[in-house]
Each structure stands twice: as C-alpha cells, then as structure tokens.
Amino acid sequence: MTIMETEITKKSFGRYVPDVVRVLLGLMFTVFGLNGFLQFMPAPKEMPQPVMNFLGALMSTHMMGFISGVQLLAGVLLLLNLFVPLALTLLAPLLVGILFFHASLAPESIAPGIVVTVMELYLAWAYRGAFRPMLAMKVRPT
C-alpha cells in the first residue's frame, strides 16, 4: 500500500466516526427514553435510601416522564440525523444531571454516564460549526 492509499484509508474511516457515535448515542437515549414509559428493563432490586428518595421525588412530580420524553425525542432525532445540534443541546442538561446523580448518590455506577458524556462532547466538537453562532459574545437580533 502506498502512502497515498494509506492516507485515503485513514480519512475514509475517520469520516464515519461521528455517524457511528451519533447512532450509538441515539440508540441509547431512544431505548432509555422508551423504558421510562414502558418499563421493559427491570429496576435494581436493592437501592440505597437516598437514591429511592431522589427517584421518588422525580416520579411524584412527573419529572421522570418529562426526562424520558426528552431522552426519547433527542434519541430519535440523533438516529434520524435530524436537528442533531438541537438533540445534543437537549441532552446536555440531562447528562449533567446524570453525572451529578451518580457522583453524589451512586458513584459505583458512574462509568456509563462518563462514556455517554464523552460521546456527547465528541459530537458537540464534530458539530461545533452549528454551535459557533450561539457562542458569540455579542449578537444582534435579526
């Protein structure tokens, strides 16, 4: 293989990475969003009392339905490759909540939250052009 062929191969593989990460992230949030409504994945049998209190508060205030709906919407948008920057923006506060939940209440299970956050940050970097206008210091209304 020549140097030119090697460079083309490297470039062609790299261009699929954002799509693979987008689809994986979309699948995860679609499944977990659906689970919030259909409960097809069983909850852990043993949970510490602070975790039960927190989840009980989310359920009693109907926030869990809202969170599941946002996860489902963002996951489907990512899977369909529609409004990807919007989907990433919708997921960002949920990921902050997931990380803080695990950091404070269930640190032993924080690894999946870190992986999903890294995927989100990678996609935000890959779509950084779409976020650039939002990060301008001064903007005039149109």
**Looking at the domain assignment, is residue 14 inside a domain?**
no
Query: Which domain covers residue 113, as residue numbers?
Result: 19-39+49-128
| Residue 96 pLDDT exceeds 90 | yes
Assign 3-class secondary structure to 107-119: HHHCHHHHHHHHH
- Residue 14, pLDDT score: 83
In a domain, 13, yes or no: no
103 in a structural domain: yes
Instruction: Name the residue among 93, 37, 25 with its Cα closest to residue 62.
Output: 37
Residue 139 lies in a domain: no
Q: How many domains does the chain have?
A: 1
Model's pTM, two decimal places?
0.87
Confidence category of residue 24, pLDDT binned at 50, 70, 90: very high
Q: Is residue 134 in some structural domain? A: no
Q: Percent of the chain at pLDDT above 90? A: 80
106 neighbors 51 (Cβ within 8 angstroms): yes
Residue 133 forms part of a structural domain: no
- For the chain, give the mean pLDDT: 92
> Is it the case that residue 10 has pLDDT exceeding 70?
no
In a domain, 73, yes or no: yes
| Structural domain contains residue 6 | no
| Closest by Cα among 126, 116, 112 to 81 | 126
Question: Residue 86: pLDDT above 90?
Answer: yes
pLDDT at 113: 96
pLDDT of residue 91: 98
Contact 70, 90 (CB under 8 A): yes
What pLDDT, on the 0 to 100 scale, is given for residue 8? 56
Q: What is residue 2's predicted lDDT score, i.e. its pLDDT?
A: 61
40-79 per-position pLDDT tens digit: 999 888 889 999 999 999 999 999 999 999 999 999 999 9
